Amino acid sequence: MRIDHIVLWVDDPLRSLAFYSDVLGLPGVRVREFQAGSAAFPSVRVSDDAILDLMPRAGAPFLNELTQVPSSAGHPVNHVCFAMSSAELGALRERLSAARVPIAGESPRSFGALGYGRAFYFRDPDGNVLEARCYDG
């Protein structure tokens, strides 16, 4: 089993796309289709087999209808964690600083899918909490 995608609720998908692409370095998916109006939302690729969907909050009623789980859409997730190498973690910290994105908290020993690693937390433009972690070094 693996994670295929996570849906994040955003106010401005293009603003969020710029953040995830420019600051986190994640490539956009279906961007042209979204801009042309043929896709309801853009996504960003996290890995070869996982994406984040940047769903406009205005789409919550549609998603409630699609899933047939009333009042389930639009709720925030506590946080999403991205695992990376120590070098990638340092580069991300530099990009966040350059973009004036504050680090909210740090943990030198935090438990995740591969055991203990070091991590820090920050927010995207819509207030979603993101964790960056590495298991090496």
What pLDDT, on a 0 to 100 scale, did the predictor assign at position 1? 67
d(CA 66, CA 83): 31
What pLDDT, on a 0 to 100 scale, did the predictor assign at position 136? 85
Report pLDDT digits (tens) over 103-136: 998 998 888 888 899 999 999 999 899 999 999 8
pTM metric for this prediction: 0.82
Report pLDDT digits (tens) over 84-110: 999 999 999 999 999 999 999 899 888
What residues have CB less than 8 Å from 124, skipping those under 6 apart?
A: 8, 10, 16, 19, 20, 130
DSSP run (H or E) holding 135: none
